Structure 1
Amino acid sequence: MGAGASTRRPPPEPTPADVAALDQPFDRDSGDRCFYCLPYDDEMKKRSSLVLLEVGCLGFRLLRPHSDDCLYAFPWGQIHSWAHTDNRFSFRYFDDGKKSVVQYTLFLRDLPQLLEHIQSVIDTILTDRKSLAIPPERFTELLVEMQTYGNGGSVRSPLELLSRQYCSEYYFWSEQGRQLIDAIPSSFDKVEVSVLLHGRLIDQNRFSFMLEGLESQADRDNVWHRITAMKKSASKLHPSGSRAASRGGAASGGGATSPGGGPASPGGAAAF
């Protein structure tokens, strides 16, 4: 091994007996379901050797068992994907502090129930959003307005056009969002509209596809930073792990994201 090479070894995995000894999942009155898990990552183990994974309409939360002490919160809009095998569940999310996608891994006894509940939550949110999808003819009108907004009309910016006349009423598919981004000439306006549309996408797991229309990685990072800041402000949640927002409403603007015309299968991309 060369000089300076890392000798850090991966953390040990829990034994099958450790996993089998975990308590069974339970449901909250809000409809959120909670699963006892053993964390794999050293950083999480330092905070708690046993965690409670709460899955609901706002995303994932990791809590200390037998308390409401929130260690981590992951809104759906920041969850990129997940994978599983046997009793191991891993998910990737955008960490605003590190400005990168990171991964956490958990071991749990009731993995099939977890995957089933995640899919149920996603199906519910997608059904609600699909019912408010912008009609094709209205989207065509919007696209024309977006392409001509600077030609003496009353609308001063794409952001104003969308926020005033469309985003309060409709949701969009990521493919439509990408068309809107591509129609905007200004890099500043592209960023502004991307932040706005994040909360109005039906298939939020394809938000990264929409962001490919931005001109640089710096612009994409800026969008994620602003989305994260908005969520923290709305939920009063800070990186130290203070309590998250109420779990009663629909996933507002955020969540991981969904392919094409429907939810991704558990173990693939996050489904909105």
Structure 2
Amino acid sequence: MMKKGEPVNKQIIKERKNLLVSIEGLLEGPMIFLGFVWLLLLIAELIWGLSKPLDYLSLSIWFIFIVDFVTKFILAPLKLVFLKKNWLTAISLLIPALRIFRIFRFMSFLRSLKGLRLLRLVSSVNRSMKSLAATMARRAFGYIFLLTLVVTFAGAAGMHAFEKAYPGFDSYGIALWWTAMRVITAGSEYYPSTPEGRGLALIIALYGYAIFGYVTATLASFFIGRDAEEKDTPLAGAKDVADLKSEIAALRRAIEKMTSKGG
């Protein structure tokens, strides 16, 4: 319903935003589930390849994502803002289309664009990041832990797919070990040789350095908090501050009573 005196354009934008929020809330659960399934299928494709049924399942999920994205794009009142926020999602939906176009002879040159697999992997992990952020609200450490598992297993699948012809990545188990070492910022005697592998290794290393500071700060806060609860600690913990506030409040009430009696 339009409010009297309210501009038509603003009211339409408001109604579209409300409708978009309602649809996102309704589809959030199923889209999160399908997002993780799609990522698992991508990891399986990079490691072993997909059978025909699993390939059809992946394409079906991709089609559902396209319908979801197009619907939200149509409802979004500010199209450019929507695209800026979801550009990686758009890329992740575009790349499978290029795979389908390979069946045509005039699109055969796409077979040489191996970098598309790296872009698809990064965009798919980005979708999983958004799904984890939605499901792990206010659980920062749990979110980082699960996201690190996603990055490690997906990154290992990518390294194996790109570097399996070279020593150190010829099996998924070894690639997983290498990726885990890179995430925890430890070194390795093996180094990627392909441009895609080097690019993915750089992304994994940047992620590892980014979370290293967070994990260190979280552990430090935990141990400082434990020390602050000890009676012999030289630091004032939150419990000590609360006790001190209670004593001050009690002393204030006692002074007020004495003052009122004296008056």
TM bin (shorter chain): under 0.3
Which of 1 and 2 has greater Rg? 2
Q: TM-score, normalised by structure 2?
A: 0.23
Q: Answer 1 or 2: which has greater strand percent.
A: 1
Using structure 1 for the length normalisation, give the TM-score.
Answer: 0.23
The answer to which structure, 1 or 2, has the higher relative contact order (CA under 8 A, 6+ apart) is 1
